[in-house]
Amino acid sequence: MFRYTLVAAVITLINVLEWTNGVALDGTCTTAPDCTGTNPNSDCTGADGSKTCKCATGYTKQGTACKANLGIACTASTDCDTVTTTDAVCDLNAASKICAVGVDGDCSGTKSSMCPTSATCETNKCECTTGYTATTTKLCSKSGADVLVNSMSVLVMLTGLIVAKIF
Protein backbone atom coordinates (compact mmCIF):
# COMPACT_ATOMS: atom_id res chain seq x y z
CA MET A 1 0.00 0.00 0.00
CA PHE A 2 2.84 2.39 0.90
CA ARG A 3 4.53 1.94 -2.52
CA TYR A 4 1.29 2.65 -4.36
CA THR A 5 0.70 5.80 -2.31
CA LEU A 6 4.28 7.01 -2.90
CA VAL A 7 4.03 6.41 -6.66
CA ALA A 8 0.68 8.20 -6.82
CA ALA A 9 2.08 11.13 -4.85
CA VAL A 10 5.08 11.47 -7.18
CA ILE A 11 2.87 11.32 -10.29
CA THR A 12 0.56 13.93 -8.81
CA LEU A 13 3.48 16.19 -7.93
CA ILE A 14 4.90 15.90 -11.44
CA ASN A 15 1.51 16.77 -12.95
CA VAL A 16 1.02 19.71 -10.59
CA LEU A 17 4.47 21.15 -11.31
CA GLU A 18 4.19 20.35 -15.04
CA TRP A 19 7.70 18.89 -14.77
CA THR A 20 9.30 17.81 -17.99
CA ASN A 21 12.59 16.32 -19.11
CA GLY A 22 12.49 18.55 -22.17
CA VAL A 23 11.81 17.82 -25.81
CA ALA A 24 14.58 17.55 -28.40
CA LEU A 25 14.62 19.67 -31.56
CA ASP A 26 11.96 18.56 -34.06
CA GLY A 27 10.17 16.72 -31.23
CA THR A 28 6.48 17.24 -30.40
CA CYS A 29 5.79 19.88 -27.73
CA THR A 30 2.88 21.77 -26.19
CA THR A 31 4.60 24.83 -24.67
CA ALA A 32 7.93 26.67 -25.01
CA PRO A 33 9.32 25.33 -21.70
CA ASP A 34 9.07 21.81 -23.20
CA CYS A 35 11.80 22.88 -25.67
CA THR A 36 13.90 25.33 -23.68
CA GLY A 37 14.50 22.64 -21.06
CA THR A 38 16.84 20.89 -23.50
CA ASN A 39 17.84 23.82 -25.72
CA PRO A 40 17.59 27.40 -24.42
CA ASN A 41 17.55 28.89 -27.94
CA SER A 42 14.49 26.98 -29.14
CA ASP A 43 10.75 27.49 -29.17
CA CYS A 44 7.57 25.44 -29.50
CA THR A 45 6.03 26.43 -32.84
CA GLY A 46 3.25 25.30 -35.15
CA ALA A 47 -0.50 24.74 -35.00
CA ASP A 48 -2.14 23.25 -31.92
CA GLY A 49 -1.87 19.49 -32.02
CA SER A 50 1.19 19.51 -34.27
CA LYS A 51 3.65 21.80 -32.48
CA THR A 52 7.37 20.96 -32.63
CA CYS A 53 10.55 22.32 -31.07
CA LYS A 54 12.40 24.54 -33.54
CA CYS A 55 15.32 26.94 -33.19
CA ALA A 56 14.23 30.45 -32.21
CA THR A 57 14.58 33.33 -34.69
CA GLY A 58 18.26 34.19 -35.12
CA TYR A 59 19.45 30.63 -34.46
CA THR A 60 20.22 27.68 -36.75
CA LYS A 61 19.99 23.98 -35.97
CA GLN A 62 23.45 22.46 -35.75
CA GLY A 63 23.27 18.84 -34.65
CA THR A 64 21.14 18.75 -31.50
CA ALA A 65 21.67 22.42 -30.62
CA CYS A 66 20.56 25.84 -31.83
CA LYS A 67 23.58 28.03 -32.64
CA ALA A 68 23.57 31.83 -32.97
CA ASN A 69 23.61 33.37 -36.46
CA LEU A 70 25.89 36.29 -37.33
CA GLY A 71 24.97 39.40 -35.34
CA ILE A 72 23.34 37.42 -32.50
CA ALA A 73 24.63 37.55 -28.91
CA CYS A 74 27.17 34.94 -27.77
CA THR A 75 29.54 34.19 -24.90
CA ALA A 76 31.98 31.89 -26.74
CA SER A 77 32.69 30.89 -30.34
CA THR A 78 31.05 27.53 -29.64
CA ASP A 79 27.74 29.46 -29.39
CA CYS A 80 27.97 30.52 -33.07
CA ASP A 81 26.66 28.69 -36.16
CA THR A 82 29.75 27.38 -37.94
CA VAL A 83 27.80 25.34 -40.49
CA THR A 84 26.18 28.26 -42.33
CA THR A 85 29.24 30.49 -41.75
CA THR A 86 32.29 28.27 -41.31
CA ASP A 87 34.44 31.22 -40.16
CA ALA A 88 32.02 32.38 -37.42
CA VAL A 89 33.52 33.45 -34.09
CA CYS A 90 32.21 35.17 -30.99
CA ASP A 91 33.60 38.72 -31.08
CA LEU A 92 34.73 38.95 -27.47
CA ASN A 93 36.27 42.39 -28.13
CA ALA A 94 32.91 43.96 -29.00
CA ALA A 95 30.99 46.00 -26.43
CA SER A 96 28.05 43.64 -27.00
CA LYS A 97 29.54 40.23 -27.76
CA ILE A 98 28.06 38.89 -31.02
CA CYS A 99 28.82 36.22 -33.60
CA ALA A 100 30.93 37.66 -36.42
CA VAL A 101 32.99 36.48 -39.40
CA GLY A 102 36.50 35.77 -38.11
CA VAL A 103 39.70 37.27 -39.51
CA ASP A 104 40.52 35.83 -42.96
CA GLY A 105 36.91 34.64 -43.19
CA ASP A 106 34.62 35.20 -46.18
CA CYS A 107 32.74 38.50 -45.72
CA SER A 108 31.25 38.71 -49.21
CA GLY A 109 27.72 39.87 -49.90
CA THR A 110 25.48 40.41 -46.87
CA LYS A 111 28.34 39.51 -44.52
CA SER A 112 30.43 42.58 -45.52
CA SER A 113 29.63 44.38 -42.25
CA MET A 114 30.01 41.31 -40.03
CA CYS A 115 33.79 41.37 -39.40
CA PRO A 116 34.98 41.44 -35.77
CA THR A 117 35.99 44.59 -33.87
CA SER A 118 39.02 46.35 -35.40
CA ALA A 119 38.60 44.52 -38.73
CA THR A 120 37.07 45.45 -42.08
CA CYS A 121 36.01 43.51 -45.14
CA GLU A 122 38.71 43.87 -47.82
CA THR A 123 38.35 41.93 -51.09
CA ASN A 124 35.78 39.62 -49.45
CA LYS A 125 38.03 38.70 -46.47
CA CYS A 126 37.95 40.16 -42.95
CA GLU A 127 41.29 41.84 -42.26
CA CYS A 128 42.55 43.57 -39.12
CA THR A 129 42.85 47.34 -39.48
CA THR A 130 46.18 49.15 -39.22
CA GLY A 131 47.74 48.76 -35.77
CA TYR A 132 46.02 45.42 -35.11
CA THR A 133 47.06 41.84 -35.77
CA ALA A 134 45.07 38.63 -36.07
CA THR A 135 45.00 36.32 -33.06
CA THR A 136 44.76 32.53 -33.11
CA THR A 137 41.05 32.95 -32.26
CA LYS A 138 40.49 34.95 -35.50
CA LEU A 139 39.96 38.24 -33.65
CA CYS A 140 42.12 41.39 -33.82
CA SER A 141 44.33 42.73 -31.04
CA LYS A 142 46.60 45.76 -30.75
CA SER A 143 49.88 45.09 -32.52
CA GLY A 144 52.84 44.42 -30.26
CA ALA A 145 54.84 47.33 -31.69
CA ASP A 146 52.01 49.79 -30.99
CA VAL A 147 51.67 48.51 -27.44
CA LEU A 148 55.43 48.85 -26.96
CA VAL A 149 55.47 52.42 -28.36
CA ASN A 150 52.56 53.40 -26.09
CA SER A 151 54.29 51.82 -23.08
CA MET A 152 57.54 53.60 -23.89
CA SER A 153 55.72 56.93 -24.26
CA VAL A 154 54.17 56.51 -20.81
CA LEU A 155 57.56 55.54 -19.36
CA VAL A 156 59.26 58.61 -20.89
CA MET A 157 56.48 60.84 -19.58
CA LEU A 158 56.73 59.37 -16.05
CA THR A 159 60.52 59.68 -16.10
CA GLY A 160 60.16 63.34 -17.08
CA LEU A 161 57.77 63.94 -14.18
CA ILE A 162 60.08 62.21 -11.71
CA VAL A 163 63.11 64.19 -12.92
CA ALA A 164 61.12 67.43 -12.67
CA LYS A 165 60.20 66.63 -9.04
CA ILE A 166 63.81 65.77 -8.12
CA PHE A 167 65.40 68.86 -9.63
Query: Per residue in 101-123, pLDDT tens?
Result: 999 999 999 999 999 999 999 99
Question: 158 in a domain, yes or no?
Answer: no
Does residue 152 register a pLDDT over 60? no
Residues 43, 80 share a domain: no
Give the pLDDT score at 2.
46
Residues 72 and 139 in one domain: yes
Overall number of domains in the chain: 2
Q: Which pLDDT tens digit goes with each residue over 76-88? A: 999 999 999 999 9
pLDDT, mean of residues 14-41: 74
Please indicate, yes or no, whether residues 80 and 105 belong to a single structural domain of this protein: yes
Q: What would the DSSP string read from start to end of the chain?
A: -HHHHHHHHHHHHHHHHT------TTSB-SSHHHHHTT-TTEEEESSTTS-EEEEPTTEEEETTEEEEPTTSB-SSGGGB-TTTSTTEEEETTSSS-EEEEPTTSB--GGGTT-PPTTEEEETTEEEEPTTEEE-TTS-EEE-HHHHHHHHHHHHHHHHHHHHHHH-
**Is the domain of 102 the same as that of 133?**
yes
Same domain, 52 and 76: no
pTM: 0.69
41 and 104 in a single domain? The answer is no
Residue 23 sits in which domain range? Answer: 1-57
